[in-house]
Chain A
């Protein structure tokens, strides 16, 4: 498998500020990473697919100008929530795909965002 870390594990910010979440693939060079959002007691919803060196692909309904994704290296993808509002409060989880050329995704521990 792959070991994936996220930083920070939790963050509290004021409404209107921007927050950056890092996702690192510690033992695998990931050309593809995924970003998910999970509301309390709900399932994971794919937000976007992050491709190293190119623009991210966003799912329908996800605002690309609000959720900025950068995948500048094979081990790091970042998600920036711009001008955060309370409704952006959620659990954000990243995953790494393509390990060993397969379809399995390996997930990070998640980042809890609370916007006041």
Chain B
């Protein structure tokens, strides 16, 4: 079955600290991979995506993600978190327009 797992429901980090959000997937083939961010009551904003090529992809707002085929993972990282990064983060995978979303990880940032 196709699925996306974000093991951490809620993460709290201090402002300026590094961040890693985990994402594992189960899919028949290598899918397209995405990270989206959702602020409260808002839609989703695309942070970055991986289709092929270099497995380390850069996104907006200083985020990056690394695709590891052997681990079926696509973890999101940021070296220094800002208070404005507090939001819900969703990992999504899919092909041909059908996206499967993970459960989301809520990020809180301590001052």
Contact = CB atoms under 8 A, between A and B. Distances in A.
A44 B101 contact: yes
A112 interface: yes
Which of B32, B45, B101 counts the most chain A CB atoms within 10 A? B101
A109 B90 contact: no
Contacts of A49: 97-98
Nearest to A105: B99
A49 B99 CA distance: 11
Contacts of B49: 103-104
Contact of B97 (A41, A42, A98): A98
B90 A42 contact: no
Nearest to B104: A43
Interface string A10-44: 00000000000000000000001010000001111
Interface stretch (B12-20, B34-42, B66-74): B34-42
Contacts of A41: 104
Q: How large is the interface on A (under 10, 10 to 19, 20 to 34, 35 or more residues)?
A: 20 to 34
Contacts of A44: 44, 90, 99, 101
Q: How large is the interface on B (under 10, 10 to 19, 20 to 34, 35 or more residues)?
A: 20 to 34
Contacts of B94: 103
Interface in B60-111: 90, 94-99, 101-104
B101 A43 contact: yes
A100 B45 CA distance: 17
Contact of B42 (A34, A95, A105, A109): A109
A46 B42 contact: no
Interface of A: 1, 4, 6, 32, 34, 41-46, 49, 93, 95, 97-98, 102-110, 112
Given A93-B44, A109-B43, A110-B41, 10 more contacts: A1-B46, A34-B99, A42-B104, A43-B102, A44-B101, A97-B97, A98-B97, A103-B49, A103-B94, A107-B36
Interface of B: 32, 34, 36, 41-46, 49, 51, 90, 94-99, 101-104
